[in-house]
Structure 1
């Protein structure tokens, strides 16, 4: 059985860098919101914190590149995609549910829709670097 290709090589390095950038951005945003105005929109701020945690763990999974890292990255990218779509739909359908924006509100519109595209790129990269058929 062939070994999987490394997820932390070539374009995977750029993907990891973007995940790290979004981990920093989401952590900073959530930290500030939770510290200064948590009572205003606790669900939105906790969702941003959850997104930050997912970005961190996904980056670590992609960087580790082994079997366990791939599984972790796959789980994170899947949860991230489901989350950004669910929060995106809910935030567009009923703005009252999220009195303040999350990283995933409006499908990540506040971040140029990168939160919507990023898990798709992550899943594609994991698929692309799966075991060689040979």
Structure 2
């Protein structure tokens, strides 16, 4: 039987659900934008696709137990936070760079600022569960440890 990730309990389940919702929203948005009007705002639409990948990876990393996936979650969520802050700021400063919105434009205004709040909550949750996440080893971690002996 697989070991359950301590990150996928309590508030972690809510985070995973919100990441899943944003993954679906960003994926749908980017598919439509790229498929129908990519030439209008290629930079913005590419960023929407990148955001979709980030949300998918973050969601998976929060679900799968083990140190490796804990690290993937940390890196992904820090990247997400950086993206939200940089794209949010650029969308305020240079409207010509963003003729159409991305999920991270204006710090996630079109999504009730969920893209701004979510990485803060995610990093808080990861920090809170740092020790327990390291104690839960997934199959990848065990096979890597065995290979190193």
Paired positions, count? 128
TM-score (norm 1): 0.93
Counterpart in the other structure of 1:60? 60
In structure 2, distance between residues paired with 1:9 and 1:109: 28
Partner Cα separation in structure 1 for residue 80 and residue 101 of structure 2: 17
Query: Match for residue 124 of structure 1?
Result: 124
Counterpart-to-counterpart distance in 1, 2:119 and 2:76: 8
Partner of 1:19: 19
Contact 1:91 1:106 in 2 (8 A): yes
Q: Which has the higher helix share?
A: 2
- The alpha-carbon deviation at position 65 of structure 1 amounts to 2.6
State yes or no: 1:84 paired with 2:72: no
Q: Structure 2 length normalisation: TM-score? A: 0.84
Match of 1:75?
Answer: 75
* Residue equivalent to 2:34: 34
Please show how residues 40-51 of structure 1 align to structure 2 within 5 Å: 40-51=40-51
Deviations 1:5-38 (A, max 9, x none): 7111111011001000000000000000000000
Give the conservation status (yes or no) of the 8 Å contact 1:77–1:119: yes
Unaligned runs of 5+ in 1: none
Bigger Cα displacement from structure 2, 52-61 vs 62-71:
62-71
Deviation sequence 1:26-61 (CA, Å, 0-9, x none):
000000000000000000000000000000000000
CA distance in structure 1 between the partners assigned to 2:84 and 2:14 by the alignment: 21
- Tell whether the 8 Å contact from 1:6 to 1:66 is kept in structure 2 after alignment: no
| Counterpart secondary structure, 1:101 | coil
